[in-house]
Chain A
């Protein structure tokens, strides 16, 4: 568990370097990746449902990204995309491909459907967090007196 958590930080940070992110965003991106992985694996242990766990992981990680984006004044995708990359259904997609090339088309189709569902859950987690964060931010701004 601890090894995987450290690995998720390393994977996220080195992936973000390939995307040329600014230097002061690197540590927050590592934190987002770690939170994504932790919330995914914890919710997987409770629910035993990969799609649900992916959605929860992606939602929590993107909410954190929204917070970082407003705190450091940088676009949200800069934190959210490298942060969520550890949740990508790579093994599922690979198994689907492998089933297809060995002519097990039914297995392949079921795996590919599951891959698409997980990818959809990740995407809707990102999208939903944007809406939630916007609502929270607006409420927060209205309730505080304007700063001059």
Chain B
């Protein structure tokens, strides 16, 4: 993010030293010194953040093109609008099917056999549907908790009814897509790069999401033990 701002600044012909930026997951601070004075800007980041790597990649690409002077400022702004307005690269049904396939294959990965692919896939698919529906209304942490609850209850239920030998595989497979892999990786990269505040903030987010998934799995397991 800070690198993107540096690319944009050097594309606009400003000395790298005179642009300072400080980016955290909840706000962006930019200060720019030009011969006419110093300008500062604070932009708060509000609203649910959705994970869209296609956008990240497109903006990264744009900032590098702007740095090489391959496009003008108005072109860049226009492009930015286009990126922001662009619909999701993969539609709802593609995402749901992807959730099915990934949960199914993770179920087999974690010791499932044959039919477990189908059950794990269905649990993961329903978790994805619940997640996408709830994230519009409630904080993302709660949406992940509910999705993990749905997935692990279905997983525990199916394994209990059908006496699946590896009860865990369906539950693990269906909650794996909910894990905050990106937040965790970015957190560690930020921490190692010396961006302590941003790293700790992202780490806290990843920790909370992981914790809520663990709570959901624990609840489902508790109930399944209770009913045995």
Contact = CB atoms under 8 A, between A and B. Distances in A.
Say if A and B assemble together.
yes
A78 interface: yes
Interface in B122-156: 128
Interface stretch (B14-22, B34-42, B74-82, B171-179): B171-179
Give the interface residue-count category, chain A.
Answer: 35 or more
Contacts of B177: 15, 18
B169 to A, nearest CB: 8
Contact of A7 (B109, B168, B214): B109
A18 B102 contact: yes
Contacts of A94: 110, 168, 171-172, 217
B90 interface: yes
Contact of A85 (B61, B181, B222): B181
A42 interface: no
A44 to B, nearest CB: 14
A80 to B, nearest CB: 7
Interface residues of B, number: 51
A64 B53 CA distance: 19
A127 interface: yes
A127 B188 contact: yes
B164 interface: no
A21 interface: yes
A143 interface: no
Interface stretch (B5-13, B25-33, B91-99): B91-99
Interface string A88-99: 101101110110
B51 A19 contact: yes
Given A17-B95, A100-B218, A81 B57 contact: no
Nearest to B215: A97
A82 B98 CA distance: 13
B60 interface: yes
Given A10-B105, A22-B89, A91 B53 contact: no
A23 B108 contact: no
A18 B102 CA distance: 9
Interface string B183-219: 0111011001000000000000000000000100110
Contact of A77 (B58, B106, B186): B186
A78 B189 contact: no
Nearest to B177: A18
Q: Which of B56, B64, B171, B225 has the most chain A CB atoms closer than 10 A to its own CB? A: B56
Given A77-B186, A77-B189, A78-B57, 5 more contacts: A14-B101, A20-B52, A90-B173, A94-B217, A127-B188
